[in-house]
Amino acid sequence: MDYDKHLKKLEALKHATFDHVFNETDLTKAENYIPALAKTMSSVHAAEIHGFQKKEIVEDVMAKLVNTMQIHEDDKQVLQEIGTPGIGTIIDKIIAASKGYLFLNDPADDEAQSGCICGKRRKPAQKKKKAGQTTTEEIVDNLFDQVKGMTKDKPLDFCTIVHIAVVIMQSLDQFFALSGEDKKCIVVTTLHKIVNEAPPEKISDTMRAILNRAIDMIIPTTINIIVAAVRGELSFSVVVDEIKRQCC
């Protein structure tokens, strides 16, 4: 009986979360996929259930939201192809950032207003480089050389792309003079380079097109959410009371 009650509670939480995010998100824009994820995570954060159950609810809600999004069919196919593994990887990165396990550089002046990929100061006191000392193309090429080995023994899928994106974000800490938007563009450009230069035996043309679209559509907003989590600006309690009233 207790187990049945628990299952009903999980289902009620799932439905209440979906209803809240569905009503609070503009689902006519594919770029709102990650903001919807943040709202979904916030909705289940305070629930008295195991972490893996929260993650399952978030993944299920996001899958249902994708099916209801009024976006171009090609974009919907990209989100469906990413699926549970891809969204699960993003969830893991956001949680790691919110718990302080992911360190990025402190924001500098106007970068805080530009979606900068910065946050808590990383512990190593490595000397910073000025952006003017290195061209953007050189930075992209250097980053590509650093991270291309990450795909050697792994499938080149969206999960790997997210892992690489976070590594690039951290590597860009040394270029303190770059704006947040510049850094974000470098992350995206480097990821495209990884996908486009992968050999045919590593990735099909169809998957190459899907990953390139996913990079443009999802990675910039993912960076914003991770940065907000690192800086402690991602609230997981804003909608908790409302969700509790609906399901409990």
Whether residue 111 is predicted with pLDDT greater than 50 in this model: the reply is: no
C-alpha distances (whole Å) from 30 to each of 59, 75, 130, 155, 161 are 17, 7, 35, 25, 18
Prediction pTM value: 0.82
pLDDT score recorded for residue 236: 61
CB 91 within 8 Å of CB 37: yes
CB 193 within 8 Å of CB 83: no
Whether residue 76 is predicted with pLDDT greater than 90 in this model: the reply is: yes
Going by C-alpha positions, the residue among 137, 130, 135, 128 that lies closest to residue 105 is 128
pLDDT score recorded for residue 105: 62
Average pLDDT, the chain: 83
Going by C-alpha positions, the residue among 114, 111, 203 that lies closest to residue 156 is 203
Going by C-alpha positions, the residue among 186, 181, 42, 189 that lies closest to residue 107 is 181
